[in-house]
Structure 1
Amino acid sequence: MALFRSLLATFAVTAALMGSPAHDAESKADPLIIAEQGSFAAGGTVQKAPGTYVNNAPTARGQSFHGDHLYAFYQVPEKPRRLPIIMLHGAYQSGRSWETTPDGREGFQTLFLRRHFTTYIVDQPRRGRAGNSTIAATIEPVPNDQLFFDQFRLGTWPNFFDGVQFDRDPQALDQFFRAVTPNTGPYDANVISSAMSALLERTGPAILFTHSQGGEPGWLTAIHSPNVKAVVAFEPGSGFVFPEGEAPADMPSAAGTLKAVEIPASEFARLTRIPIIIYYGDNIPTEPTAERGKDNWRVRLAMAKLWVAAVNRHGGDARLVHLPEIGIRGNTHFLMSDLNNQAVADQVSRFLAEKNLD
């Protein structure tokens, strides 16, 4: 037994020297007990072609088509907390964003299961495992890996940023690129929020996590569904909704112009009734730059700050945390899967505890 304890101590010291958080080492040593899991579709529409279906001479006539739903995979841990967490991905991604990390560590799905939250991982309509779109789209194999390397702030191709929280192993980068998933139909925030609202009718009250492009349908979902009890947004990139007449001016950048979205004041007011927190990572400049990948996020962070101010001006409870400013450095656009995702998860856990949502 003494030898066993000695080996455990050696392992703990080695893990610390390698930069692994002790909490991470402990959690991986413990079995993860899942009491229930499954998957289902939520929302969507059914289209029907006129005519009569002929079994032995099939055409489109008389047939139906189910589309524009989302896919949800859920897991319920032993002794679950009262509110589940629904995780909505961003552009060119799927629920895989939350499942694991490019270097094979536990993603937010598992980290929060270990913290006894039931989790729902979503593939949004017209993406991934919810690919049936009621509107046609052409998917072209256009090379875009290097664009995403820059756009998602791993670095400036082919070089990683100094201190970036991304594993330099080529296999990790390969996995990162292979997580990219195309749209099978036009992106439509209203279609997504409609399906998300249907999901929340099934789950009941829940906490909503969003990432990147998931920000706009996340805000719309929180507006339309009273079951959203809080929003935790990771680097929302577009679709910032403002009351009519209060939208800030367009924000040009090296990556294009960012525009706000105006909605009725009565709808915006619903966002002031729940706690909201937004997180952004590192390598985002404060002044304009010709570097497209960086300048793209300069205006998005600036717009997010104006959005938080608008929510609070109307009596809401919104907060923006720029992680480098609190000593958490090196994060990419994928905060939930970076090397320090445990530290980011800890920040979220503290917020949920502060708001009595845990």
Structure 2
Amino acid sequence: MKLVKGLKSKISVLMLSFSLIVSATTIKPITIQEQGSFTVGGSYVTHDGVYSPKNFTSPEGQRAYGGFAYVSYQKPVNAKRYPLVFQHGGAQSKRTWESGPDGREGYNTIFLRKGYSVYLLDQPRSGESNLSTQAIIPETPWVSNSMYSDKTFYLLSRVGHYDAKGNPVPNAQFPAGQENYDNFQKSWSVGSGPLDNNLNADVLAQLVDKLDGAILVTHSMGGTIGWRTVLRTDKVKAIVAYEPGGTEFVFPETDMPKIIKAKFEPLSATAMAVPLEEFKKLTKIPIVLYYGDYIKVGSDNPGEDKWGTEFEMAKQFVATINKYGGDATLVHLPEIGIKGNSHFLIQEKNNQQLADLMEQWLKEKGLDK
């Protein structure tokens, strides 16, 4: 009897080892043809006076640079025609797309495996683009280390809730454990100057023009940067927006949306007006918006309530684009059977499934060649 149990145990270990080996070998190496980094956009200001080596630490006659984006990229062998450009959200950086809190593969390499060139940028005054020609102002968000805000960010991002003892309880798709919680909290980035989404869109448009066409993939506040970029260049071929919100959606000035207010009103979704002919530029490309779970207007959870108002605004945004002949789609993941995702859905346990969903959409739009 003991022999049988021991044999079964050894067989189980061998099967597990074999399974791990097979799993490791099924992940094929990525063959990179080219990779690198560069900056795009930016400007400088010069301090008055004349520079003197005798007083070499003085700002007189010297320049301060800023307002640019830092971009890192990789191109696989036999890359598809249009690259993916990844735009992060507020208080984040290109790290958003590089990995999940538990170290799982991020969208950058997932889509390299799918044959797309990937460009990850840190928008001006953020991440590795943190030089600024303008000083911070009281209204600048995220200007210093976000001390004592872990619970705020956790709730507003709908990652989970806290038990009676204050311990984090993650939602279904967010990886559990204190280490993953800590890694999530370490992903936030500070701003080194005023938040300027028109500047961010100007720089993103320069990047898209430099690439002679690209597909934008945005997250959260990056959504408004994506919409505004389309108003600045005709080289955007499509937009995939993951939970856009936190700053304005774009609407025709003659067809503005109904504002749904959150319980804490400053968290409510907002809209900006543009001339109708400008707005119609958004009708020339396919657009898809993905939203996760735990979204409910009027919820006592501030994150669920906030993103409930953003979701309602997104419905109106998509309807307005289609009203003027566009091709916009809104996907609420729970409605298609994908449940448990937070605002950071692209980093969660099912991010491969979500990436496959995006890939299928790109194929449907003829953008997989």
Change (3 A) 1:222 1:10: farther
Paired position in structure 2 for 1:241: 250
Correspondences of 1:273-312 after superposition (within 5 Å): 273-285=284-296, 287-312=297-322
Bigger Cα displacement from structure 2, 239-248 vs 110-119: 239-248
Question: Retained in 2: the 8 A contact 1:254–1:291?
Answer: no
Tell me whether 1:229 sits opposite 2:234 in the alignment: no
- Say if 1:87 and 1:209, in contact at 8 Å, map to a contact too: yes
Q: Secondary structure at the match of 2:331?
A: strand
CA RMSD of aligned residues (A): 2.0
Q: 1:325 pairs with 317, 324, 335, which one?
A: 335
Q: Confirm or deny that 1:36 pairs with 2:34.
A: yes
Distance in 2 between residues matched to 1:87 and 1:46, nearest whole Å:
26
Given that residues 145 and 190 in structure 2 are in contact (C-alpha distance below 8 angstroms), is that contact kept between their aligned partners in structure 1?
Answer: no
TM-superposed CA distance for 1:297, in Å, is: 0.6
Q: Is residue 313 from structure 1 mapped to residue 318 from structure 2 by the alignment?
A: no
CA displacement, residues 46-102 of structure 1 (integer Å, 9 cap, x when unaligned): 212232211221322211121010010000112111110000000111000000111
Q: Does 1:85 align with 2:84?
A: yes
- Provide the rounded CA distance (Å) in 1 between the counterparts of 2:26 and 2:156: 32
Q: In the alignment, which residue of structure 2 is the partner of 1:18?
A: none
Normalised to the residue count of structure 1, the TM-score between the two structures is: 0.91
- Between the aligned residues of both structures, percent identity stands at 39
Query: Which residue does the alignment assign to 2:201?
Result: 193
Q: Distance in 1 between matches of 2:285 and 2:308?
A: 27
Q: Which runs of 5+ in 1 are unaligned?
A: 1-5, 16-21
Larger radius of gyration: 2
Counterpart residue number, 1:347: 357
Q: Are the counterparts in 2 of residues 27 and 114 from structure 1 also a CA contact under 8 Å? A: no
Q: Deviations over 1:155-199 (max 9, x none)?
A: 12344355x201112111111110111111111110100111111
**Cα distance in 2 for residues equivalent to 1:233 and 1:321:** 10
Of 136, 151, 159, the match for 1:154: 159
What amino acid is the match of 2:288?
I
Distance 1:53 1:27, change over 3 A: farther
**In structure 1, distance between residues paired with 2:86 and 2:16:** 33
Tell me whether 1:98 sits opposite 2:106 in the alignment.
no
Kindly tell me: are residues 346 and 13 of structure 1, through their superposed partners in 2, closer, same or farther at Cα, counting changes over 3 Å? farther
- Equivalence map 1:41-80=2 (5 Å): 41-58=39-56, 59-80=58-79
Q: 1:217 aligns with which of 221, 225, 228?
A: 225
> Secondary structure of 2:154's partner?
helix
Shift of 1:141: 4.6
Query: Within 2, Cα distance between the matches of 1:222 and 1:53?
Result: 42
CA pair 13-350 structure 1, distance change in 2 beyond 3 A: farther
Partner of 2:139: none
Q: Does structure 1 retain, via aligned residues, the 8 Å contact 2:160–2:168?
A: yes
Runs of 4+ in 1 over 3 A off after TM superposition: 9-15, 25-28
Aligned residue pair count: 342
Matches within 5 A, 1:86-165: 86-137=85-136, 138-157=143-162, 158-160=167-169, 164-165=172-173
2: CA distance, partners of 1:27 / 1:209: 30
One-letter amino acid matched to 2:59: A
Question: Which structure 2 segments of 5+ residues have no match?
Answer: 1-10, 137-142
Q: 1:77 & 1:27 partners in 2: Cα distance?
A: 20
- CA distance 1:346–1:12, change in 2 (3 Å): farther
1:301 Cα offset (Å):
0.3
